[in-house]
Amino acid sequence: MYTYDPKSLVADEFINHEEILATLAWADANKDNVELIDAILNKARPRRTETGVSCAGLSHREASVLLACEDPERIQRMYHLAKDIKQAFYGNRIVIFCPLYLSNYCVNGCVYCPYHAKNKHIPRKRLTQEEVAREVIALQDMGHKRLAIEAGEDPKMSPIEYILECIETIYAIKHKNGAIRRVNVNIAATTVENYRRLKDAGIGTYILFQETYDKKSYLELHPTGPKHDYNYHTEAMDRAMEGGIDDLGLGVLFGLERYRYEFAGLLMHAEHLEAVHGVGPHTISVPRINAADDIDPSTFANGIDDDTFAKLCALIRIAVPYTGMIISTRESQKVREQVIGLGVSQVSGGSRTSVGGYAEPARPTETEQFDVSDQRSLDEVVRWLMELGYIPSFCTACYRKGRTGDRFMALCKTGQIQNCCHPNALMTLKEFLMDYASEETRAIGEALIEAEMNNIPKERVREICGDHLSKIEQGIRDFRF
């Protein structure tokens, strides 16, 4: 008998290998059980309530049955359901962000990442605070308000003090009408005390990809360095919670291990956070392994095709309906367009994955962490989203108003968050149109805002939003509900 306990704080118990194997076996045994599959799909439907909307979500076992199902008709029902759930919780808004690479010095030996310590031909670089400021100004000039900072793990070159200094620099830069209003942090697993320091620095979401939940594979893929410690890495989110960070971002790197195993492990991790802390993940990212400096994705045997990837995205949305889903510029425009329609709620735009890449006129490639498939400018991404009927949102109001963790989830799980998010999205889009957009993008955006104002249900909120939009035209910035 194995020990599976979602409330345990021990990684081997809340991400239990035997439980995942049993889950996959049960899914295989029931993948053609149409009565069970239909019952699971019915359970997952969003339901209107007196206070808004309710959605049950799915357990890792229920969702794994849907992933194993190969019936084309029911797969299409999954896709329609994912779209309905995304619309119920997030509407037609798509949050915009951008990564900022601070340093590629790293002491780990991760075999899928070009920053690994044994790579002697990649140029190593760490931004000075002056260079950080130049990067931030370049990002502000594009129109960005939300960043995700990235750094390799190196206690000498990228200690927590360096990260904290960079965060302070980023928040301090006010250029023209630009300001970075939310800094999310994607750095290596660390201590409770360091998480407290990050919280005190005013970070938004703490993001840490598991890479793989298969412990045997994890140890092989991380042969050297502090990241080799599977349990310390996997238990990091609990330490972050203890340190006061209640917005957490999960993710695996699809392609390293069997995707069905990773899917079950990812959902178990979300269930663990709910069981222990009462708050599931704020975001889930879905990166696939990509080509890089000395990394060939074809050498990994578990790559997944676009259709499988789309199905994974749809089922994550169905299983964890309240969680923001992130797709990066690793993926092509075509793939991003498909999965946005299946539940993705956040996208990057105008991204460069090299250290110091934004201040350069041409995209540098020698220090990239991975190849960027979607190389369009932020203006082009914003216009594309609007042409598809989405509202590009630069909103950071929830974080700045203290609507994080259980406070955010309480609003999100009932659908009430839309009362804030919809007008906030329109106002931040208006700022972008006024300050950064091309003429073509601005024309499309102004028409979109005019149409979407009619979708604000409360008359008083609509009046206030309209007044704020007029003031934005007059040069005033940063309104939020």
The model's pLDDT over 348-391, given as tens digits with 9 standing for 90+, comes to 999 998 999 999 887 766 666 767 778 899 999 999 999 999 99
Residue 101: the pLDDT is: 96
Q: With 90 as the cut, is the pLDDT of residue 89 above it?
A: no
Residue 373: the pLDDT is: 79
Residue 365: the pLDDT is: 67
88-375 folds as TIM Barrel (3.20.20)
The C-alpha atoms of residue 253 and residue 268 are separated, in whole angstroms, by: 16
The confidence band for 156, taking pLDDT boundaries of 50, 70 and 90, is very high
Residue 353: the pLDDT is: 87
> Averaged over 71-88, what is the pLDDT?
96
Residue 221: the pLDDT is: 96
Closest to 142 measured CA to CA, from 92, 181, 177: 177
Residue 30: the pLDDT is: 98
Q: With 70 as the cut, is the pLDDT of residue 417 above it?
A: no
> Averaged over 184-210, what is the pLDDT?
97
Residue 397: the pLDDT is: 80
The confidence band for 111, taking pLDDT boundaries of 50, 70 and 90, is very high
Bridge-based pairing of strands 346-348 and 391-393 is unpaired
Closest to 245 measured CA to CA, from 293, 286, 184: 184
- C-alpha distances in angstroms, 243 versus 28, 191, 195, 240, 405? 40, 8, 5, 5, 13
Which of 113-122, 138-147, 251-260 is predicted with the least confidence, judged by mean pLDDT?
A: 113-122
The confidence band for 31, taking pLDDT boundaries of 50, 70 and 90, is very high
Close Cβ partners of 450 (under 8 Å, ≥ 6 residues apart): none
> Averaged over 111-120, what is the pLDDT?
90
Q: With 80 as the cut, is the pLDDT of residue 70 above it?
A: yes
Q: With 70 as the cut, is the pLDDT of residue 418 above it?
A: no
Q: With 90 as the cut, is the pLDDT of residue 403 above it?
A: no
pLDDT digit string, tens, across residues 159-178: 999 999 999 999 999 999 99
Q: With 70 as the cut, is the pLDDT of residue 141 above it?
A: yes
Backbone angles phi, psi at 375, to 5 degrees: -100, 20
Close Cβ partners of 18 (under 8 Å, ≥ 6 residues apart): 2, 4
Residues of the chain with CATH 3.20.20.70: 88-375
Residue 157: the pLDDT is: 96
Percentage of the chain with pLDDT > 70? Answer: 94
pTM exceeding 0.85 = yes
pLDDT digit string, tens, across residues 331-354: 999 999 999 999 999 999 999 989
pLDDT digit string, tens, across residues 274-299: 999 999 999 999 999 876 666 677 78
Per-residue HEC secondary structure of the chain comes to CCCCCCCCCCHHHHCCHHHHHHHHHHHHHHCCCHHHHHHHHHHHCCEEECCEEECCCCCHHHHHHHHHCCCHHHHHHHHHHHHHHHHHHHCCEEEEEEEEEEECCCCCCCCCCCCCCCCCCCCCCECCHHHHHHHHHHHHHHCCCEEEEEECCCCCCCCHHHHHHHHHHHHHCEECCEECCEEEEECCCCCHHHHHHHHHCCCCCEECCCECCCHHHHHHHCCCCHHHCHHHHHCHHHHHHHCCCCCEEEEECECCCCHHHHHHHHHHHHHHHHHHHCCCCCEEECCECCCECCECHHHCCCCCCHHHHHHHHHHHHHHCCCCEEEECCCCCHHHHHHHHCCCCCEEECCCCCCCCCCCCCCCCCCCCCCCCCCCCCHHHHHHHHHHCCCEEECCCHHHHCCCCHHHHHHHHCCCCCHHHHHHHHHHHHHHHHHHCCCHHHHHHHHHHHHHHHCCCCCHHHHHHHHHHHHHHHCCCCCCCC
Q: With 90 as the cut, is the pLDDT of residue 133 above it?
A: yes
